Structure 1
Amino acid sequence: MRSIAACLISVALTSALFAQPNQLPVADKALAREIFQQLIETNTTDSVGSTTVAADAMKKRLLDAGFAESDVVVMGPNDRKGNMVARYRGRAGSTLKPVLIIGHIDVVEAKRSDWTTDPFQFVEKDGYFYGRGTQDMKDSDAAVVESFIRMRREGFVPDRDIILALTADEEGGRSNGVDWLLKNHRDLIDGAFALNPDAGGPELEKGRAVSMGVEATEKLYADYRVTATNPGGHSSLPRPDNAIYHVADALGRLEKTPFPLEANEVTRVYFASVAKTEKGQLAEDLKAVSGTVPNAEAAQRLSKDPIYNSLLHTTCVATMMSAGHAPNALPGSAVANVNCRIFPGHSQEEIRQELIRIFADPTLKVQYVTNSGEVMEKGSDRKSMAPPPLDPVVFKPLEATVNSIWPGIPVIAEMETGASDSVYTMDAGIPSYGFSGMGVDRDDVRAHGRDERIRVVDFFAGVEFEYLYLKALTSQ
């Protein structure tokens, strides 16, 4: 693992493969925007949307661009959960295994009342594109589809096949597309390695790129159901064991009980690298948590920043709560959902037991909830994925492409603080790397939140990055 620092931080590689990139051609700019708008305005939420509609739309675009019918398919377990798999054919006779690109086209639920714009209307204003999926991750989906069309139009022949899988239910639901394809059609998406634009990417400070993050490992996702019950009764006769109070007290203890400070080789390299881009106390603190034993005082200061906090601890937070059946009756039950992002090395069951310890209330039931919504008495003992080998076939063209668009910024290994479909490809034995060209200001991360947006210039930079990188990757 010593090679993480050597291989990912250095940007001294020659960029001879590239001239400085020209401005994105007008026609390609228009096409990318059109595809992006079409994806944003297709509702792909689990509740009422359909990934099949979006998958069919992208299939039509590729067929119209000249791709063979046999190379673009839409399939899934039901009518609403379609996945598109497209194969860009490489050089005849090539013995190189394909490149696999995975990108989910489903999005998190969004309420119109929470937004200042319609979340399922593509809006351009004040230099930003607004809409659900503009950050997570229809921006990258549009960029890859546009790059496929652009390369096809130019007659580009890669040195191996490139497979694009646009998939369902990464954000929730019972039909995760990557998992389903691997179990039912592994031959269609088998690759030497997988690229996942749902992680990593340029980190911006007020529009200026300061680093390119590459997901080298990620946290483990878990939901837990916390339940209190009692006989209920008339509200004029309050009971001391009110179910709402039991759950609320437990959540209050959780809020005030941070999980232990932790580090691994990926986070240590990340903090050491970011320290070189900062100044003053922040730089000193970042350096202080990059050692074998992170400095606790520095970590406490850094933890005031949600991003740094999530890189230093397992995090668990209450996200949903329901209770009661009438305004004039005591609740017979109260239920809360606690969402955890688990530091590598710990399992879902281990964290369930830790929640029980923190809550310190034997009357509460704490159960694990699977991605499909099934409630289990215990969580899995499976732990987070180990970092994949750092393949120079992936990283040399990455460093050169980054240097051609954002000269001089470091390429830095990072731990994904959320979760991504890389867990499925990694479990299937396909090394997986997370990065895209879509930059977002570190203080403007709105994925899963209201008024999700991406700066217009950053979207088009990401489109150009995808095109240049795919060509460099498959021209070695």
Structure 2
Amino acid sequence: MNATPDPGADTSAAQAEVVGLCQDLIRIESVNFGDGSGPGERAAAEYVAEKLSEVGLDTEILESAPGRASVVTRIAGADPSRGALLIHGHIDVVPAFPDQWTLPPFAGQIADGCIWGRGAVDMKDTDAMVLAVIRQWMREGTVPPRDIVLAFVADEEAGGTYGARYLVDNHADKFEGCTEAISEVGGFSLTVAGKRLYAIETAQKGMAWMRLTAHGRAGHGSMIAEDNAVTALCEAVARLGAHQFPIRMTKTMQAFLDEIADLFGITLDPDDMDATIAQLGSMARMIGATLRNTANPTMLTAGYKTNVIPGEAHAVVDGRFLPGYEEEFLEQVQEVVGENIAIEMLHHDKALETTFDGALVDAMVASLLAEDPEARAIPYTLSGGTDAKSFSDLGMRCFGFAPLRLPADLDFSGMFHGVDERVPIDGLQFGVRVLDRFLRTC
């Protein structure tokens, strides 16, 4: 195989192929309902394994449960003494209901210069970019500067128990030597004051998925009930849903806001950070959530018959806490809902934060600038979470870097788990070029 060539190498083959790869992946309905009732990821895993095997890579499909499949392979680099880079991407998607969509969510159709479908941005677009780049490399005999491990994993959309968590707990040897990792929701552009910023994820909030339970006296629905579990629960949920947690400035968000302040030529007002964030347009929803902890009620259950007052009622809450603020968050949730509401943790995972420096970050920034000279790379905190939470347990420094150049008016953050999810084809091809440069130099 050839030594790593000039980072400005021709990527036309990968740019041409990435469109079909993305469409194919979207058409595989690897829907994750979070309760084990979906089809699983086996079909998507087999597709990915086949595409990698076609170009000579040895792949393994690892199942944590029937149908819950992940794919892992390793590409030998020019310098085996260097730490390996993990590129991980999930192959499951959240559900989509066709009657809510403009185009069918699992057809992978092209319209208005975009590929439409569930997973187009979360995250089968990135899976396709990685496949396209690696397939061209393998056909041409390109050797990366260091070992690269590829992991296309199951179950990210439900916390990773059957995917990344399973791999880390049971197949850690597959990631031997990996010191750094990249994955989704980073390296995308957002246009602010006419300038293109590229947000590279260096931190993400922790997860606290909770069940709230209120207990009361069961009885006949026609009678006076002063101890009604449904009423108590609804009051607690309303308080929590309306509660605004205090702003807490992390290192990552301080760096992000300093860049925004410089861009606008303003001095940040610590008493009104929301005003600065509001200038980010549609991205304000996601970025604004990284200035404070959040707790959003998402599900309610109670009772079994109209004329029976139930003895208990339940709510499910999606809680997210900033790096360093988990204890404060849990205390405040209990305080808001009240001592008579029981809190059960359904799924818990840590917050992550690393610094915006080092050779890997330098390679990210350089690869973006090479394709977009006006690029301005900045660190940011992801309001959600990724499989980095699991892979970081193996000692890796984890980043979100899945480069996309996006139209200024595209509601990118609204695409995640939303309707009419789509990715611009030219943005996808931009991502291929940047990713190729990055992997040749990192």
- If the length of structure 1 is used for normalisation, what is the TM-score? 0.82
Residue of structure 1 aligned with 2:44, choices 41, 54, 58:
54
Amino acid at match of 1:288: L
Distance 1:300 1:389 in 2: 25
Deviation per CA, 1:206-260: give whole Å up to 9, x if none.
Answer: 9987112222221101111111233443433352433332222112212332111
Q: Structure 2: which 5+ runs fail to align? A: 1-5
Q: Distance in 2 between matches of 1:155 and 1:207?
A: 43
Question: Residue 459 of structure 1 aligns with which residue?
Answer: 428
Determine which of 19, 27, 41 is the counterpart of 1:33: 19
Deviations 1:369-420 (A, max 9, x none): 126xxxxxxxxxx85334258331x123222210111112221111121111
Cα distance, 1:18 vs. partner?
Answer: 5.2
> Aligned runs of 1:404-419 on 2, under 5 Å?
404-419=370-385
Q: Distance in 2 between matches of 1:237 and 1:118?
A: 49
Q: Which residue of 2 aligns with 1:324?
A: 303
CA contact (8 A) 2:207 2:350 kept: no
Q: Distance in 2 between matches of 1:298 and 1:83?
A: 41
Amino acid at match of 1:417: S
Q: CA, structure 1 residues 363+96, in 2 after alignment: closer, same or farther (shift >3 Å)?
A: closer
Q: What is aligned with 2:3?
A: none
CA distance in 1, matches of 2:278, 2:222: 44
Q: Give the one of 392, 412, 420 matched to 1:426.
A: 392
Q: Which position in structure 2 is the counterpart of 1:365?
A: 342
Cα distance in structure 1, aligned partners of 2:315 and 2:412: 28
Letter in 2 for 1:433: F
> Matched residue of 1:119: which SS?
coil
Q: Could you tell me which of 355, 376, 392 is aligned with 2:333?
A: 355
Query: Does residue 121 in structure 1 map to residue 107 in structure 2?
Result: yes
Q: Counterparts of 1:217-236 in structure 2 under 5 Å?
A: 217-236=203-222
C-alpha contact 2:14 2:135 (8 A) present in aligned 1: no
Q: What residue number does 1:10 align with?
A: none
State how 1:121-200 maps to structure 2 within 5 Å.
Answer: 121-172=107-158, 175-200=161-186
Amino acid at match of 2:72: V
Aligned CA distance change for structure 1 residues 389 and 303 (closer, same or farther; 3 Å): closer
Aligned partners of 1:206, 1:35: CA distance in 2, in Å?
31
**Partner Cα distance (1:220, 1:61) in 2:** 34
Structure 1 range deviating more: 232-241 or 297-306: 297-306
Which has the higher mean CA deviation after the structures are superposed, 48-57 or 135-144?
A: 48-57
Within 5 Å, give how 1:240-279 maps onto structure 2: 240-278=226-264
Q: Which amino acid aligns with 2:437?
A: L
* Among candidates 60, 64, 67, match of residue 77 of structure 1: 64
- Return the alpha-carbon distance in structure 2 between the equivalents of residues 176 and 128 of structure 1: 31
Query: CA separation of 1:87/1:298 partners in 2, compared to 1, >3 Å: closer, same or farther?
Result: closer
2:314 paired residue number: 335
Q: CA RMSD in A?
A: 2.6
Selected match of 1:435 from 387, 398, 401: 401
Q: 2:412 aligns with which of 444, 448, 451?
A: 444
Equivalent residue runs for 1:374-389 within 5 Å: 384-387=351-354
Q: Does 1:297 align with 2:272?
A: yes
Query: Cα–Cα, structure 1 residues 388 and 238, in superposed 2: closer, same or farther, change >3 Å?
Result: same
CA distance in 1, matches of 2:194, 2:26: 26
Equivalent pairs counted in the alignment come to 426
| Partner Cα separation in structure 1 for residue 104 and residue 192 of structure 2 | 25
CA contact (8 A) 1:140 1:438 kept: no
Deviations 1:57-97 (A, max 9, x none): 11111111222xxx211112223111101222223x73223
Which segment is superposed worse, 147-156 or 238-247?
Answer: 238-247
Residue 328 of structure 1 deviates from its aligned partner by: 4.0
Task: From the superposition, tell whether residues 308 and 30 of structure 1 become closer, same or farther in structure 2 (CA, over 3 Å).
Answer: closer
The question of whether the paired residues in 2 share the 8 Å contact of 1:203 and 1:211 is answered with yes
Task: Specify which of 76, 80, 83 is matched with residue 89 of structure 1.
Answer: 76
Segments of 5+ residues of structure 1 without an aligned counterpart are 1-16, 290-294, 372-381
Q: Sequence identity of aligned pairs in percent?
A: 27
Contact 2:26 2:119 in 1 (8 A): yes
CA shift in 2, pair 1:159/1:182, >3 Å: same
Deviations 1:286-323 (A, max 9, x none): x415xxxxx11344664794234212100111111122
Contact 1:18-1:404 within 8 A present in 2 as well: no
Corresponding residue number in structure 2 for 1:390:
357
Q: Which stretch of the first structure deviates more once superposed, 219-228 or 207-216?
A: 207-216
Provide closer, same or farther for how the CA distance between residues 204 and 388 of structure 1 changes in structure 2, counting only shifts above 3 A. Answer: closer
- The answer to whether the 8 Å contact 2:207/2:347 transfers is no
What secondary structure, in the 3-state scheme, does the structure 2 residue paired with 1:196 have? strand
Aligned to 1:311, the other structure's residue is in SS state coil
Question: 2:231, 2:419 → 1: CA distance?
Answer: 29
TM-score normalised by length of structure 2:
0.88
